[in-house]
Structure 1
């Protein structure tokens, strides 16, 4: 087997199936990342969505016997939408972050990695491979950085010269000893725009994120959003792009070439009020193909309520009263009561006062009392 020739053939095939960048690195442990993950764990900065076993996250040999190399892939996604719909005073809209535009990237990248695996095994029948995208054990960014896909930026993204940080990452561990690519030099320099722009101060310092404060995390959590962050969420119903849109390296990086990720404008900038009453089935039928649907409808509906409060949308008051009075979910009732307090019109506040004596959940009662006190 001519490994160098195979490596070039894999590069060519990757481009042919729509992978935008591919890099190779060794399967050696990620020692520096191991120390960083331990520190994040100690500080309580993790989101809780990650693999908890730090050894598995940093030692590829624990994930594949005789691991020799890792292939890292990047697929670009668009940062720009053609003809985005505009909200009006009575028809306000939310926004899904760019990483939830089009088809769920987990599906797209897994398909491409599966094609790569088949391609490799046709040429090397004794090859062993293990692929993962985002939800796997390895830290995608650490692999991509070492494989020369881009540099690990201050906003905790991988930035590529070609596509900026608007790239999805995946990797494949294999027992074939490919030659490693050279890591890229950090090009962030003295720039701190992403740190300065982060709405909640979640970027503690360059390359360090407190996920518990990150809006992208907060929009996905299934609990009530802490009050200090609600105003910061604005009209985001899923995710946050601030630290990417502010980045000079992303200027004029539109990445419109991947058909799978073309946004459906009415879905990625949805009308807020219709979202409040979607059934589970309607939510899955409408949004189920998007990565932003993975936590189900509850967080999205809670975020839509917060967005309506952000706009002080008085036309939403009857909908919010209905949720506060009748919805079986305490998180939704409590957030609706809070939103009525933020909007502050007499109809909503009177409804909160009427509902308070009948509410049995103490957290919801607390939200109701605070709503009444805001007057």
Structure 2
């Protein structure tokens, strides 16, 4: 069978099923990536969310022994929200990053890749494949770069000529030896806008990220957020788009191609106070279908408390006091106490002092003391 002819058929079929860009790459070892990952590991720049060993992440044959090619796909998502609700003094709001605005992209991409797999099996009944989206071992970005989907920018995102970096990526490893496509030339040039704009300095140099400092990572952690990052997060509930928003390649880029990627404004920009008291069932019903819910409600509630502190929302003090006094989770109680201190009303400080008398958890007590220290800072000015 003519593999090149089938490749063209696959490309045409991909357009019919809602794939915006498709590219073909060899299944050779990702040697350069392997060295980069080793450096990342040595420097402790890992997030800890990565799946598999460095070998599994860079050697496709470990995942599919007969691997010959990798098919990379990209789906564009919106960068602007229509009818976005305003954050007001009476209703302060948080924000989910754009990649979490619509239906969970893992679901969207797996659907497209499964259809692509079925189509290929019709042409090659003996074919074998393995599909992956984000949580798989392979680096989606490394595959996309090799397959000519786009180039890897200094912000570590794949930047496509058509859609900028606002694309979801996924791949299909196959034992069919398709002719690979050519990579796209890097066109970041001397631009350093993403490095300069990163709120925490997580972009160490062009193309190198310290995940431990990246707000997108930090918003997904479940423990106390280190103090130095609390003032940097602002009202972000999940993720961070700064390095993409400032990128010149993303200016005027806004595609509304797929209904399932469209944001639901009240979910993408949720009111912060109601998030503090949301039940597990309500959380699943409201946020369960978006990518930002994968770590559960605890990190998002912690971030909501930090967001209310960012706004110095005095209307939230009563609600936050209830959280500090009654929530069974130490991290949430402690963050509530810190938030109260940051907001800084007399009611907030009195509540912290009262709760401190009975609080047993040392971590929470430490946060309460920090909350009360804000009072001393104010009086010293």
Instruction: Tell me if TM exceeds 0.5.
Output: yes
| Separation (CA, whole Å) in 2 of partners of 1:318 and 1:340 | 9
> What is the rounded CA distance, in whole Å, between the counterparts of 1:217 and 1:65 in structure 2?
32
User: Could you list the per-position Cα deviations for residues 32-62 of structure 1 after superposition, in whole angstroms to 9, with x for gaps in the alignment?
Assistant: 0000001101111010000140000000011
The answer as to whether partners of 1:80 and 1:256 remain within 8 angstroms in 2 is: no
* Partner in structure 2 of residue 366 of structure 1: 366
Alpha-carbon displacement from aligned partner over 1:221-258 (angstroms, at most 9, x marks no partner): 01111111001000000000000000000011101111
Give how far 1:195 is off: 0.2
The 5-angstrom pairing of residues 28-43 of structure 1 reads 28-43=28-43
Secondary structure (helix, strand or coil) at the match of 2:79 reads: coil
Alignment of 1:244-283 (within 5 A): 244-283=244-283
Partner of 1:298: 298
Offset of residue 370 of structure 1:
1.2
Unmatched 5+ residue regions in structure 1? none
Root-mean-square deviation (Å)? 0.6
The whole-number CA distance in structure 1 between the counterparts of 2:36 and 2:358 is 49
Query: Is 1:284 aligned with 2:287?
Result: no
1:46 touches 1:212 (CA, 8 Å); kept in 2?
A: yes
Partner of 2:379: none
Cα distance in structure 2, aligned partners of 1:374 and 1:62:
54
Partner-residue secondary structure (3-state), 1:121: helix
* Number of the residue aligned with 2:143: 143
CA distance in 2: counterparts of 1:79 and 1:126, whole angstroms? 41
Shift of 1:77: 0.6
Contact 1:64 1:129 in 2 (8 A): yes
Give the TM-score of the pair, scaled to structure 1: 0.99
Counterpart for residue 234 of structure 2? 234
Distance in 1 separating the partners of 2:243 and 2:195: 7
CA deviation profile, 1:186-229 (whole Å, cap 9, x unmatched) = 00000000000000000000000000000000100011111110
Task: Say whether residues 1:335 and 2:335 are aligned partners.
Answer: yes
Q: Is the 8 A contact 1:92 1:271 kept in 2?
A: yes
Residue deviations 1:86-111 (CA, integer Å, cap 9, x gap): 01112100000000011000000000
SS in 1 for 2:178: coil
Q: CA deviation at 1:65?
A: 1.8
- Partner Cα distance (2:336, 2:65) in 1: 52
**Count of matched residue pairs:** 375
Alpha-carbon separation, structure 2, partners of 1:52 and 1:138: 9
Determine if contact 1:148/1:181 at 8 Å carries over to the other structure: yes
Aligned to 2:179: 179
Could you tell me the TM-score, scaled by structure 2's length? 0.98
- Could you tell me how far apart the structure 2 residues matched to 1:213 and 1:362 are? 25
| Runs of 4+ more than 6 Å apart | none
